[in-house]
Amino acid sequence: MFSFRGCGRWVAASLTKQHHPSSRFSGDSAAPWTPHFDVVVIGGGHAGTEAAAAAARCGSRTLLLTHRVDTIGQMSCNPSFGGIGKGHLMREVDALDGLCSRICDQSGVHYKVLNRRKGPAVWGLRAQIDRKLYKQNMQKEILNTPLLTVREGAVEDLILTEPEPEHTGKYRVSGVVLGDGSTVYAESVVLTTGTFLRGMIVIGLEMHPAGRLGDQPSIGLAQTLEKLGFVVGRLKTGTPPRIAKESINFSILNKQTPDNPSIPFSFINETVWIKPEDQLPCYLTHTNPQVDEIVLENLHLNCHVKESTRGPRYCPSIESKVLRFPNRLHQVWLEPEGMDSDLIYPQGLSVTLPADLQEKMITCIRGLEKAKMIQPGYGVQYDYLDPRQITPSLETHLVQRLFFAGQINGTTGYEEAAAQGVIAGINASLRVRHKPPFVISRTEGYIGVLIDDLTTLGTSEPYRMFTSRAEFRLSLRPDNADSRLTFRGYKEAGCVSQQRYERATWMKSSLEEGISVLKSIEFPSSKWKNLIPEASISIGRSLPLRALDVLKYEEVDTELLAKAVPEPLKKYTKCRELAERLKIEDF
Amino acid sequence: MLPVEHPFAAPQRASPLPLSLASASRSEDLQWVGEPTSGSTSALRDLNPVIFRPQTLQSVHPPAAELPLGPYTRQGSGAPAPSSGATVFALSSGQGRCGIAVIRTSGPASGQALRSLTAPRDLPPARKACLRLLSDPRSGEPLDRALVLWFPGPQSFTGEDCAEFHVHGGPAVVSGVLQALGSVPGLRPAEAGEFTRRAFAHGKLSLTEVEGLADLIHAETEAQRRQALRQLDGELNHLCRGWAETLTKALAHVEAYIDFGEDDNLEEGVLDQADSEVRELEVALGAHLRDARRGQRLRSGAHAVVVGPPNAGKSSLVNLLSRKPVSIVSPEPGTTRDVLETPVDLAGFPVLLSDTAGLREGVGPVEQEGVRRAQKRLEQADLILAVLDASDLASPSSCNFLDTVVIPAGAGSPNGSNQRLLLVLNKSDLLPAGGPDPSPDLPPHLLLSCLTGDGLDGLLEALRKELAALCGDPSTDPPLLTRARHQHHLQGCLDALGHYKQAKDLALAAEALRVARGHLTRITGGGGAEEILDIIFRDFCVGK
């Protein structure tokens, strides 16, 4: 019998191909022995994958436990990543060598930076993502991560032991019990169960237990956590119906084209996998009074809306939009689900009406008159744990070495989950190695804002990141996430690869050098005016003007400046990112 | 006794204090979660009012134990939290022998303390005075027959359970009751200002109200009392809060435009509306800052300086106004050589009255120094009482004084300050009775005889008018900025609004508004990001 660790990856990799239930775990049929890992991550969503990969990057022998390997990396709601605030989080996850940004650069079908006209601090990197590609690429990444093993199984209970006296906490977690009664021992455990804790799906008046449409919820685990004394709350969220692409009349709708060139999410990518001209467009349509009418007439058939459980204010269902802002036309974005997908995701149409009424509502909308609904929208209600019960390293106060990340902490969104996942994975690993926790402060990153808000204020609705939450918004920009976090990640956590570290080091020194060169170039303003007639430089000034000052003009960028003074500035335009960052830093 | 002038309002999330507080409180957090049944809920709530906010988790399942989720607010999070859960007691009335002395307790063990001293009786009805025999809980020895009051929280001064013992004011009674209270488990003597600090931490008083309370306790004149009471009633807070609300709304609209402008269809003109709100706010702040020192004058006294040539009767005037012999008076010129200060209550306004050396040249070095000091004091004066000898108006020193001091001040303030001047012609008793005005060419003036008191009523009335203009009239004017820090933050807010208008990058413009709001919330408290989000989601239909 070869060691469990050695075979784990192979087992998981084979699973994705064969999907043979009896061969789920090679250790099951063997003699009674108990696997032992440094870090066990429960859940294979956006928090779980990041946590597992981060722990493994830090050098911990890591096990990822999931209900089904083939749902690892599933995007269970919108087919997009990023946006304003969320794009900031992705950049920070990437700066710590996390996965989602790199996977998005390989899986997007429509890349667009939001807020381009509003100053670099609030640019929002965003992309429509091909669900299938994302899942495939994520699974490939996870199954090929050294030190990371994947196993299928439902966790039903935690194994607890006496607490370590030098830390706070009533218990210490030392492993998990699976649904089949087997156990896995672990030095740290990360829980990333998403909406699966006592998850209930709601369509119209029907409710049935499920974490996601078609997936079983975790009930035993929820009971365990409650019995331990964790304060549990309830939240809800929703997802819109999916529509057949060929049944939509796009020709009469507003078309939105992607950016050219596409800006990649990851610092280590110069480009994305797909050319702008090959990318897919999005379309915009609007609701109308008929939609309002259907919603208002059928409120009695809609128990999700009536319940008092808190849903997100910023991701409202069409029902709550109609109720709170009546007599308005609400936007509906028709987004592609993927390159070869027949589905369209109508963003803005999250709804929990009975399925037949959903279809009736959809066909009232311009462009969707003949639309065929493939899957109804539904609401999800789930348990979350008051995040004031965890520390800034995401470890629980109550149970030592138990970490929570993602929706279990009351957040919403892939990016928020990924950000917590990376931090939980790093800290689960550091904890095993008796190293101080890796905590990002509010002054260092949106991740710090997110975790500080959660752990000190808690949340009463699904928490989403906005740039308005960040006090230091002007310095916590998407462009400089690497200089804020990559060096710390490399030195303190060990979660950053050598390649990324070197790239960040090169960027940092190039920027410093570039700025000092820009400072050293001085001409009279009249000469600058001749060199760059586009710039509104006033020539009356007696003092000479530095290149650095000229770059401050709104209409001057590094390219323009380098054309005027090719030597020594030309070399700073070779790298698009460097040229852009010089301009931003100067600003 | 109170945390006056200490800028502990700093409610900014970014300041290191709240963050370190939050982490420092973690071990206590843990106890609530782990041992939720130990101690009463209110005791748990008291552990750390800083990180709690009003919110209840909506658990659909019966909670495992009583949820330790009390109401809390982040306002005032810059203040150190009161030490956890302790019940404090103190003598709240003045020290020394008196008819009645009041001893207060605040904290979760207040009820226990009250019961211990009044055993075997039950707690009196809430907020009703009851006569009880107080006795030492250890020895059972009677201490006093006293009125006791029971204020269950949160409807009490501090927001905690409070008890009051109105005992006879003899030192032995007071110390006996204090000792008895000290023997009750969980009670300890209060630190200076601790009752008020607890009231602040529980959101019972805002920072400006705490300042108003301190002022009320220290108020010595009528106008000071009125002003302090108004501030304690929250008028200044209300005013600043109104401004802060306008600003928060403008900021929320800018933030909404940043976070949602691209993806959601915000209505047109969101930014224009923010711009016009900022303009209105600028006007309001500018108007209020125009004579911002009035409140400070009212709080710490207006500076009135009595000046004039030698032997005009300045010291006599000072003694007359202060109703006590502050200065030595003699017919010899140059008697007063230094600046003599005395605080007086003039028509209800606090005034720091300074007597100065007579202004003249060519005398000895000591008197010369006195003249220099007099001139220096003159420059700092809010109100100049220029005194001339009515019978000696033609003398060179009088003319010189008129030319150098009175005329310039009357012609408008030389250094842009709003100094005021009253010209007093003393020694009117030396003028022929019923004679014509001796000086029709002089600026407006008052005739007075310090010797007979003739003209004093007229002078007091004139002083009242001048002081009302200098200090503001606390019974009619808008709330005053009683402290330098109020003025500082309003000015900072106004400056930041100026930056907002200049910024081209919307993120920079929003930053200016954030700075402006930060200044206002240093006066009012509050100022979290959540308030902005509340406005965004109330005013706009955003999100998908």
- Domains in chain A, please, with CATH? 37-238+384-492 (3.50.50.60), 242-380 (2.40.30.260), 498-583 (1.10.10)
Q: What is the pLDDT of residue A238?
A: 86
Higher pLDDT, A157 or B50: A157
Least confident residue range of A87-91, B145-149, B175-179, B518-522: B518-522
Residues of chain A found within 8 Å of residue B63, distances taken between Cβ atoms: 231-232
Provide φ and ψ at B165, rounded to 5°. Answer: -120, 115
B105: helix, strand or coil: strand
Residue range A63-92, pLDDT digits in tens: 999 999 999 999 988 999 999 999 999 999
Least confident residue range of B40-54, B229-243, B258-272, B489-503: B40-54
Q: What is the pLDDT of residue B270?
A: 83
Q: How many CB atoms lie within 10 A of CB A214?
A: 9
Q: What is the mean pLDDT of residues A264-272?
A: 95
User: What band does B41 get if pLDDT is binned at 50, 70 and 90?
Assistant: very low
d(CA A162, CA B154): 40
Q: What is the pLDDT of residue A311?
A: 66
Q: Which residues pair with A150 in a beta bridge?
A: A64
- Token pair belonging to B262: 């691209």
User: Which pairs from B299-302 meet CB under 8 Å and 24+ separation?
Assistant: B299/B215, B299/B224, B299/B227, B299/B350, B299/B482, B299/B483, B300/B350, B301/B343, B301/B350, B301/B351, B301/B352, B302/B349, B302/B350, B302/B351, B302/B352, B302/B382, B302/B383, B302/B467, B302/B470, B302/B471
Least confident residue range of A331-335, A419-423, B10-14: B10-14
Decide if B318 contacts B340 (C-beta within 8 A): yes
User: What band does A519 get if pLDDT is binned at 50, 70 and 90?
Assistant: very high
Interface contact flag, A115 B262, Cβ < 8 Å: yes
Decide if B262 contacts A117 (C-beta within 8 A): no
User: Beta strands B130-135 and B142-151: pairing type?
Assistant: antiparallel
Q: Is the pLDDT of residue A256 over 80?
A: yes
User: What's the DSSP call for residue A405?
Assistant: -
Q: Does A110 touch chain B (CB under 8 A)?
A: no
Residues within 8 A of B (CB atoms), A 209-228 only: 226-227
In terms of residues, how long is chain A?
A: 587
Write the residue in B23, B30, B541 that is nearest to A330 by C-beta: B541
Q: What is the pLDDT of residue A307?
A: 57
User: What band does A314 get if pLDDT is binned at 50, 70 and 90?
Assistant: low
Q: What is the mean pLDDT of residues A249-253?
A: 95
Q: In sequence order, what DSSP letters do the residues of A9-29 get, joined into one string?
A: HHHHHHHHHH--GGGS-GGGG
- Token pair belonging to B250: 């403008």
Nearest chain B residue to A385 by CA distance is B57
Q: What is the mean pLDDT of residues B30-35?
A: 29
ipTM of the complex: 0.82
User: What band does A245 get if pLDDT is binned at 50, 70 and 90?
Assistant: very high
Q: What is the mean pLDDT of residues B89-108?
A: 89
Q: Is the pLDDT of residue B32 over 60?
A: no
User: What's the DSSP call for residue B75?
Assistant: T
Among A519-533, B81-95, B290-304, the range with the most confident prediction by mean pLDDT is A519-533
Q: Is the pLDDT of residue A107 over 90?
A: yes
User: What band does B241 get if pLDDT is binned at 50, 70 and 90?
Assistant: confident
d(CA A329, CA B32): 48
User: What band does B436 get if pLDDT is binned at 50, 70 and 90?
Assistant: low
The residue among A81, A89, A118, A443 with the most chain B CBs within 10 A of its CB, best to mutate, is A118
d(CA A557, CA A581): 10
Q: Provide the shortest C-alpha distance from residue A358 to chain B (in Å).
A: 17
- Identify residue A427 by its one-letter amino acid code: N
Interface contact flag, A471 B544, Cβ < 8 Å: no
| Percent of chain B residues past pLDDT 70, beyond the cut | 79
Q: Does B317 touch chain A (CB under 8 A)?
A: no
- Token pair belonging to A399: 């149970």
Residues of chain A found within 8 Å of residue B255, distances taken between Cβ atoms: 466-468
Q: Is the pLDDT of residue B373 over 80?
A: yes
Q: Does B536 touch chain A (CB under 8 A)?
A: yes
Interface contact flag, A397 B53, Cβ < 8 Å: no
Residues within 8 A of B (CB atoms), A 258-317 only: 308-310, 312-316
Residues sharing a CB contact under 8 Å with residue A377, sequence separation 6 or more, in sequence order: A203, A238, A239, A240, A241, A349, A350, A351, A352, A353, A358
Write the residue in B34, B55, B529 that is nearest to A229 by C-beta: B34
Interface contact flag, A397 B29, Cβ < 8 Å: yes
- Token pair belonging to B209: 């109200």
Q: What is the mean pLDDT of residues A420-442?
A: 97
Q: Provide the shortest C-alpha distance from residue B177 to chain A (in Å).
A: 41
Q: How many CB atoms lie within 10 A of CB A511?
A: 18
d(CA B377, CA B387): 15
- Token pair belonging to A528: 């600058």
Decide if A213 contacts A202 (C-beta within 8 A): no
Q: Is the pLDDT of residue B138 over 80?
A: yes
Q: What is the pLDDT of residue B240?
A: 86
The CA dihedral of B435, B439, B445, B446, to the nearest 10 degrees, is -20
Write the residue in A121, A232, A474 that is nearest to B61 by C-beta: A232
Q: Does B499 touch chain A (CB under 8 A)?
A: no
Q: What is the pLDDT of residue B66?
A: 34
User: What band does A56 get if pLDDT is binned at 50, 70 and 90?
Assistant: very high
Q: Within chain A, how many helices (H) and strands (E) appear?
A: 19, 23
Q: Which residues pair with B129 in a beta bridge?
A: none
Write the residue in A119, A230, A458 that is nearest to B505 by C-beta: A119
User: What band does B54 get if pLDDT is binned at 50, 70 and 90?
Assistant: very low
Interface contact flag, A232 B57, Cβ < 8 Å: yes
Residue range B286-299, pLDDT digits in tens: 888 876 677 788 88
Residues of chain B found within 8 Å of residue A83, distances taken between Cβ atoms: 263
Residue range B187-228, pLDDT digits in tens: 999 888 888 888 888 888 888 888 888 888 888 778 888 888
d(CA B34, CA B26): 12
User: What band does B434 get if pLDDT is binned at 50, 70 and 90?
Assistant: low
Higher pLDDT, B97 or B266: B97
Decide if A173 contacts A402 (C-beta within 8 A): yes
- Identify residue A475 by its one-letter amino acid code: S
Q: What is the pLDDT of residue B531?
A: 79
User: What band does A446 get if pLDDT is binned at 50, 70 and 90?
Assistant: very high
Residues within 8 A of A (CB atoms), B 465-484 only: none
Q: Provide the shortest C-alpha distance from residue A97 to chain B (in Å).
A: 26
Residue range B322-346, pLDDT digits in tens: 888 888 888 888 788 888 888 888 8
Nearest chain A residue to B263 by CA distance is A114
Q: Is the pLDDT of residue B303 over 50?
A: yes
Place of tokens 């101080």: A436
User: What band does A1 get if pLDDT is binned at 50, 70 and 90?
Assistant: very low
d(CA B442, CA B421): 13
Write the residue in B36, B63, B259 that is nearest to A84 by C-beta: B259
Q: What is the mean pLDDT of chain A?
A: 89
Among A11-20, B7-16, B148-157, the range with the most confident prediction by mean pLDDT is B148-157
User: Beta strands B162-169 and B142-151: pairing type?
Assistant: antiparallel
- Token pair belonging to A328: 């308005």
Q: Does B71 touch chain A (CB under 8 A)?
A: no
Residues of chain A found within 8 Å of residue B69, distances taken between Cβ atoms: 231, 386
Residues within 8 A of B (CB atoms), A 504-563 only: 554
Decide if B182 contacts B189 (C-beta within 8 A): yes
Residues sharing a CB contact under 8 Å with residue B372, sequence separation 6 or more, in sequence order: none
Q: What is the pLDDT of residue A312?
A: 67
Q: Is the pLDDT of residue A7 over 50?
A: no
Decide if B303 contacts B384 (C-beta within 8 A): no
d(CA B442, CA B440): 6
Decide if B291 contacts B418 (C-beta within 8 A): yes
Q: Half-sphere exposure of residue B329, counting CA atoms within 13 Å on the CB side?
A: 14
Interface contact flag, A169 B13, Cβ < 8 Å: no
Decide if A302 contacts A311 (C-beta within 8 A): no
Nearest chain A residue to B528 by CA distance is A469
Q: Provide the shortest C-alpha distance from residue A190 to chain B (in Å).
A: 19
The residue among A114, A231, A472 with the most chain B CBs within 10 A of its CB, best to mutate, is A231
Q: Is the pLDDT of residue B67 over 80?
A: no
Residues of chain B found within 8 Å of residue A232, distances taken between Cβ atoms: 57, 59, 61, 63
Q: Provide the shortest C-alpha distance from residue B255 to chain A (in Å).
A: 6
Residue range A463-512, pLDDT digits in tens: 999 999 999 999 999 999 999 999 999 999 999 999 999 999 999 999 99
Q: What is the pLDDT of residue B543?
A: 58
Residues of chain B found within 8 Å of residue A397, distances taken between Cβ atoms: 26, 29-30, 33-34
Q: How many CB atoms lie within 10 A of CB B422?
A: 19
Nearest chain B residue to A387 by CA distance is B57
User: Beta strands B420-426 and B383-389: pairing type?
Assistant: parallel
Q: What is the pLDDT of residue A395?
A: 97
Q: How many residue pairs from chains A and B have C-beta atoms closer than 8 A?
A: 159
Nearest chain A residue to B22 by CA distance is A456
Interface contact flag, A114 B263, Cβ < 8 Å: yes
Q: Is A213 exposed, middle or buried (0-12, 13-18, 19+ CB in 10 A)?
A: middle
What's the order of all strands across the beta sheet hosting A242-244? Answer: A254-256, A282-286, A331-336, A343-347, A242-244, A373-375
- Token pair belonging to A383: 């348990």
Q: What is the pLDDT of residue B291?
A: 67
Higher pLDDT, B355 or B47: B355
Q: Does A85 touch chain B (CB under 8 A)?
A: yes
Q: Is the pLDDT of residue B11 over 50?
A: no
Q: What angle do CA A118, A121, A124 make, to 5 degrees?
A: 75
**Terminus-to-terminus CA distance in chain A, angstroms?**
62
Q: Is A384 exposed, middle or buried (0-12, 13-18, 19+ CB in 10 A)?
A: buried
d(CA A511, CA A507): 6
Q: Is the pLDDT of residue B20 over 70?
A: no
Q: What is the mean pLDDT of chain B?
A: 77
Q: Is the pLDDT of residue B367 over 50?
A: yes
Q: Does A163 touch chain B (CB under 8 A)?
A: no
The residue among A170, A396, A442, A466 with the most chain B CBs within 10 A of its CB, best to mutate, is A466
Backbone CA torsion sign across B12, B16, B17, B22? positive
User: What's the DSSP call for residue A533?
Assistant: T
Q: Does B382 touch chain A (CB under 8 A)?
A: no
Interface contact flag, B258 A118, Cβ < 8 Å: yes
Interface contact flag, B544 A469, Cβ < 8 Å: no
Interface contact flag, B60 A234, Cβ < 8 Å: yes
Q: Give the residue among B383, B352, B350, B384 at the shortest CA–CA distance from B482.
A: B350
Least confident residue range of A98-102, A478-482, B5-9, B255-259: B5-9
Q: How far is CA B351 from CA B105, B225, B327, B355, B425, in A?
A: 37, 14, 17, 13, 21
Residue range A371-407, pLDDT digits in tens: 999 999 998 889 999 999 999 999 999 999 999 999 9
B45: helix, strand or coil: helix
- Token pair belonging to B31: 């106890």
Q: What is the pLDDT of residue B350?
A: 87
Interface contact flag, B63 A232, Cβ < 8 Å: yes
Interface contact flag, A122 B265, Cβ < 8 Å: no
Residues within 8 A of B (CB atoms), A 313-332 only: 313-316, 321, 324-325, 328-331
Residues within 8 A of B (CB atoms), A 5-24 only: none
Decide if B446 contacts B458 (C-beta within 8 A): yes
Decide if A291 contacts A365 (C-beta within 8 A): yes
Q: Does B30 touch chain A (CB under 8 A)?
A: yes
Q: How many CB atoms lie within 10 A of CB A317?
A: 28
Q: Is the pLDDT of residue A173 over 60?
A: yes
Q: Is the pLDDT of residue B429 over 90?
A: no
